[in-house]
Amino acid sequence: MGVGIEVANLNAWYGSNHTLQDISLNIPANHATALIGPSGCGKSTFVRCLNRMHETNPIARVTGTVRMGGIDIYEDVKPVEIRRRVGMVFQRPNPFPTMSIYDNVAAGLKLNGYTNRKSLDEIVEKSLKNSALWDEVKDDLKKKSGASLSGGQQQRLCIARALAVDPEVLLMDEPASALDPVSTSKIEDLIFQLKTQYTIVIVTHNMQQAARVAEMTGFFLNGRMVEFDSTQKIFTNPSDKRTEDYITGRFG
């Protein structure tokens, strides 16, 4: 079950680069929210702040508050705790190269000490079904390595891996940017189904993609959030001139 995310005055630095400046927005539970903007605008940094991955880089710094289901993730909990509640799918498919398909999906549970085998089998099957990969891999779950799959399959495997820990929020950082059009449309279908159960935040440089899958859209520019509104409003009648310029392809 998803939870909402409440972000207030979020600032992020990367070395001396002020990559995110005063971001405040409320991301609704159990819906898909898209973040768009030209590359380098801070949208990826933003999602990485939502599960405290940004700070894994020693030169990175964050201030401000992010509340997720009532919990201040920077005050009340340690990074590992919040990352267990927030699934993340990265730009490039990154299955664990030495693990089988099964172990890849089960990794988040096994590595956190979950040992119930029977229940693991069920969770792996359910997660692979949810990520629409089950039929393609069910026969060699433990035989094939995760790295032997095609790029699109690998990305769906990564989604299954993120779903297996039953997250409350699913972050996707340009999940389809490294994939072919067929795989991309599969991933989009998937997001469309998953958003009833999870709060999904998806970063994309593809505006059509945002329009297709998301109810809410935020437009980022130069480290600031210019506009955040319903997808329909953003794409048909944006309030800010810069959003309009970007949507109509006048820059970026």
Partner 1 sequence: MEAASTGTKFQLRARIRGLIDSGATILAVLSTLLVILPLVAIFIYLLLKGASSLNLDFFIRTPKPVGEAGGGMANAIVGSATLLAVASILGVPMGIFGGVYLAEFGRGTKLANAIRFTADVLNGVPSIVMGIAAYSLIVLPQGHFSAFAGGVALGIMMIPTICRTTEEMLLMVPHVVREAALGLGVPNWRSVLSITVKTASPGIITGCMLAFARVAGETAPLLFTALGNNFWSTTLNEPIAALPLQIYVYAISPYDDWHRLAWAGALVLIVLIVLAVSLVRYVTSRGVLKGAS
Partner 2 sequence: MPEIHIAHPQFQPEPSVTAEQRQAASAAQEPSEVRRFLLSRGNSALADRSFQILMTLCALSIFGIVALIAIELIGNSRLAWHSFGLQFFFKAYIDPYTGLPTYWDPVNGHFSALPFVYGTLLSSLMALMLAVPLALGVAVFLTEMCPNFLRGPLAFLTELLAAIPSIIYGLWAIFVLVPLLREHVNPWLIKIFGWSGLFSDDNPTGLGFVSASVILAIMILPIISSLTREVMIAVPHSQREAVLALGATRWEMIRMGVLRNARIGIVGAIILGLGRALGETMAVTMVIGNSPEIHRSLLANGSSMAAVIANEFAEATNDLHRSALIEIGLALFIVTIIVNALARLLVWAVTRGAPARVN
Torsion of CA 47, 7, 197, 151, to 10 degrees: 0
Instruction: Select 98 or 232, whichever has its Cβ closest to partner 1.
Output: 98
Q: Taking CB under 8 A as the rule, which mask of x and - marks residues 132-151 in contact with partner 2?
A: --------------------
Q: 13, 96, 114, 134: which one contacts partner 1 (CB under 8 A)?
A: 96
175 binds partner 1 (CB under 8 A): no
Residue 147 contacts which entry, partner 2, partner 1, none (Cβ below 5-8 A, type-dependent): partner 1
First to last CA, the chain: 36
Residue 222 contacts which entry, partner 2, partner 1, none (Cβ below 5-8 A, type-dependent): none
In which element (H, E) is residue 111 found? Answer: none
Residue 83 contacts which entry, partner 1, partner 2, none (Cβ below 5-8 A, type-dependent): partner 1
Sign of the Cα pseudo-torsion (40, 5, 244, 12, in order): negative
Q: 20, 35, 68, 88: which one contacts partner 1 (CB under 8 A)?
A: 88
* Cβ-Cβ contacts under 8 Å for 201 (sequence gap 6 or more): 5, 27, 32, 33, 35, 47, 50, 169, 170, 171, 172
225 binds partner 1 (CB under 8 A): no
156 binds partner 1 (CB under 8 A): no
**What are all long-range contacts of 235-241, with beta carbons under 8 Å and residues at least 24 apart?**
235/207, 235/211
Q: 7, 20, 158, 211: which one contacts partner 1 (CB under 8 A)?
A: 158
Instruction: Select 30 or 177, whichever has its Cβ closest to partner 2.
Output: 30
232 binds partner 2 (CB under 8 A): yes
Task: Answer for the pair 13, 22: CB distance below 8 angstroms, yes or no.
Answer: no
85 binds partner 1 (CB under 8 A): yes
b or e along 87-124 (b: 16 or more beta carbons within 10 Å of the residue's beta carbon)?
bbbbeebbbbeebbbbbbbbbbbeeeeeeeeeebeebb
* Cα–Cα distance for residue pair 58/86, rounded to 1 Å: 22
200 binds partner 2 (CB under 8 A): no
Residues 57 to 76 in contact with partner 2, rule: CB under 8 A = 69-71
- What residue type is assigned to position 225 of the chain? M
90 binds partner 1 (CB under 8 A): yes
Using CB under 8 A as the criterion, which residues of the chain lie in contact with partner 2 when the complex forms?
Answer: 1, 3-6, 26-31, 69-71, 77-78, 80-81, 84-85, 109, 112-114, 119, 123, 164-166, 168, 192, 195-197, 215-216, 228-233
